[in-house]
A and B are shown apart, each in its own frame.
Chain A
């Protein structure tokens, strides 16, 4: 396994918030002490969200090349302790963060020939860090596919960004899937499983990376195994 940067306790301050639509907000934090965060694309950080020691984890959705700050994108619908803590932060307010953590990173050894990323909802966050990092910074020439399931078209974020990447890099393929699509939606409809079912999936030495809720991960895992994918080729990050 790749050497992971050890987690540390950081103080960071809220530098920017950007509501991406009615559902998702992007938060940018600037590191205060220590002032640089080294992480591998796909890792997450844990925020102290109460004075009782309660914490919530959020995947870093920004580039690992940027070390003085990091971004997270949060689905605000749960409206619980974590979401409300983040939403109530004032600009410049300091937070206690523990990170980087997690092993949901693109495997280096053994190297996989193709990469398939599957997300639902906010599960796309780590891929927003990984995919541009692979394509732009690492000039990765492997076939990379992202399947991303959401309910409504208005829930979508980064659609233009992923589509631009697919235009610029012929080895990247983007499949957004809507479960409650309007009549005019031209692409895949239904659940992400339906989309995966109708596509021919690369077998051989392909790494499958799944991120989202536990039910989705279980269902996709079963689907992939039924299609002949080895369990060892399936990696996942469960958000809840």
Chain B
């Protein structure tokens, strides 16, 4: 069973990268919405569980959604190659 945690991850949007493809809003409508310019914005960090937030970020065709682990401060997505 998946552990539906909320609050482990913080998501951020890089506005310049967003093409308004609306994957993030489709997957996590509680967290993302499109603004008047058809660019994604965050409506709530708690609107969906962490797993859904990560999936929404991974589905973004331009990697415009960044996911950060609140505890460690590490960027979880996009993966930074070391």
Inter-chain contacts of B59 with A (CB < 8 A): 46, 55, 57, 98, 101
Task: Please state if B79 and A238 are interface contacts (CB–CB under 8 Å).
Answer: no
Task: Please state if B79 and A237 are interface contacts (CB–CB under 8 Å).
Answer: no
Task: Please state if A52 and B79 are interface contacts (CB–CB under 8 Å).
Answer: yes
Complex interface residues of chain A between 198 and 232 (CB less than 8 A to chain B): 214
Choose from A7, A52, A57 the contact partner of B21 (Cβ within 8 Å).
A57
What's the tally of chain A residues with a CB closer than 8 Å to chain B? Answer: 18
Judged by a CB distance under 8 angstroms, whether A4 is at the interface is yes
Judged by a CB distance under 8 angstroms, whether A170 is at the interface is no
Choose from B21, B26, B61 the contact partner of A4 (Cβ within 8 Å).
B26
What's the tally of chain B residues with a CB closer than 8 Å to chain A? Answer: 14
Judged by a CB distance under 8 angstroms, whether A53 is at the interface is yes
Task: Please state if B22 and A7 are interface contacts (CB–CB under 8 Å).
Answer: no
Residue of A nearest to B20 (CB): A238
- What string of 1s and 0s marks CB contacts (under 8 Å) between A51-68 and chain B? 011111100000000000
Which of A4, A46, A57, A102 has most B Cβ within 10 Å?
A: A46
Inter-chain contacts of A54 with B (CB < 8 A): 58
Judged by a CB distance under 8 angstroms, whether A80 is at the interface is no
Task: Please state if B58 and A7 are interface contacts (CB–CB under 8 Å).
Answer: no
Inter-chain contacts of B48 with A (CB < 8 A): none
Q: What's the nearest-Cβ distance from chain B to residue A145, in Å?
A: 24
- What string of 1s and 0s marks CB contacts (under 8 Å) between A40-79 and chain B? 0000101000001111110000000000000000000000
Task: Please state if B19 and A214 are interface contacts (CB–CB under 8 Å).
Answer: yes
Complex: A101 Cα to B61 Cα, angstroms = 11
Judged by a CB distance under 8 angstroms, whether A186 is at the interface is no
Complex: A54 Cα to B77 Cα, angstroms = 10
Task: Please state if B19 and A46 are interface contacts (CB–CB under 8 Å).
Answer: no
Task: Please state if B58 and A55 are interface contacts (CB–CB under 8 Å).
Answer: yes
Choose from B22, B55, B77 the contact partner of A102 (Cβ within 8 Å).
B22
Inter-chain contacts of A214 with B (CB < 8 A): 19
What is the interface of chain B, defined by CB distance below 8 A to chain A?
A: 19-23, 26-27, 34, 55, 58-59, 61, 77, 79
Kindly list 9 other residue pairs between chains A and B, CB separation below 8 angstroms, not including A46-B59, A101-B59, A238-B19: A46-B23, A46-B61, A57-B21, A57-B59, A98-B59, A101-B23, A101-B27, A102-B21, A102-B22
